[in-house]
Structures are given as C-alpha cells and as structure tokens.
Amino acid sequence: MSEPLAKRAYTQIIEMIFSGELKVGDALQEAKLGEQLDMSRTPVREAIDRIKVEGLAVKSGRFLRVRLLTAGEVEEIFLLRRELEVYSARMALKLPKEQIETMRTRIERLLQAGPAIAEEHWQVDEAFHGILTASTHNQTLISTVNDLRLRTCIFDHTRVRGRFLKGNQEHLRILDALLAEREDQVMALMAEHIDNAKNAILERLAGFEASGSLS
C-alpha cells in the first residue's frame, strides 16, 4: 500500500462501501472496480488486500465479498484493547516528561489545524497510542494493539462524527494525568477513551443496519 494509486483506490472503495454503493455481499472484482476508478488492476488488488485484512471483505465463491464488522466483533476488539491499553497507559508513567509534552504539543497543533488533514490526524493518533504501548517494552503487546487498531481504522474521525474533537481532548487529558503522575486517573481516562471509541463505532454500525449505508 505504499503506492499513491493503491491508497487512492483503497479510500474510494471504502467510500463506496460506506455510502452504500457497494453493499454487503457485493463482489470486489478487480477488473470492474478498476474500470470504475479508472485504474489498473494492481492498485485495486492492493486496496482489496488491505480491505480484507481490516475485516471488510470475506472470501465467498470465486470472489472476495463486502462484509462489515459485527457489533460482537467490535465488542471483542475493544475488550482486548481496553485491557492492553489501560496497562500501557500505566506503564507510560515512566516516560520522560519531555516526550509526553512533545506529544501534547503535537495534539494541540492538530486541533488548531482542524479535522480536514486526515492523514496528519491518523499519524498523530498512531503516535499517541504508539508511545504508550512502546513504554511496556512488550513486543507482543505492541503488535497485538496495532493489529486490533487496524481492524477498526476504517472508523476514523471522517466516518464517526464528533470523534476528532472528543478523541483528541481525551488524549490531552490522559497526557495531563501522566504529567501529574496520577496513576488511577491515567488508567480511568484511558478506559473511558477506549469505551467512547467503541460506543461511537457501535452507534455507527447501528445506523447502518437502520439505513443501509454508513453515510
């Protein structure tokens, strides 16, 4: 997914799923999608591979077909994330304050720039969760959290209303608690952050079931 065309193909196919243009059960055919997107098969194939990894496509017959995460799958993902990331947040109390302050400044700049810069938002979000999991020095935990986050990364701030502001504000409160070395507060705030993200996604999925699209 390093090529710009593959990234564009991924974004456009995801939009087709979220808008209802591609419905649950529809086949993700490289040739057909390539024609629709005016691209060759290669970037479309790479995009479909990523979509499969994220759980939005499943093999059925000759084709991969559109599917959505179920509410049960979301619950399972966030159950694990809650346990692992609350632990990570507690371990992050050992981080140098300069590193925490640098992360805080980066989030404040993102809030000033606004939600339009989607790529920067994803990078900052990755960095925030990354410094916390890295503080555990547990490679299995780090890779597990990364994999779990990938499973729901399609539900970013552009598709879950209100999460840009709320999510970043929650990040700042967690960092402030880390700076103040308040262990109980750090853990409670991280648990709340994970629960809020989960509930926002579940609400969006419920909206899809009611309307037939996620737009």
pTM, 2 dp: 0.79
What is the mean pLDDT of each successive set of 10 residues along the chain, which is 215 residues long? Answer: 76 82 89 92 91 84 86 95 98 97 96 79 92 98 93 73 90 98 98 96 78 50
Give the CB-side neighbour count of residue 47, counting CA atoms within 13 A: 30
Our CA dihedral for 79, 207, 204, 55, rounded to 10 degrees, sits at 70
Which helix (H) or strand (E) element contains residue 63?
Answer: strand 63-66
Instruction: Supply the Cα-derived Rg of the chain in whole angstroms.
Output: 18
Cα–Cα separations (whole angstroms), residue 157 to 121, 175, 188, 204: 8, 20, 23, 12
Predicted confidence (pLDDT) per residue in 32-79, tens digit: 999 999 999 999 999 999 888 877 888 888 889 988 788 999 999 999
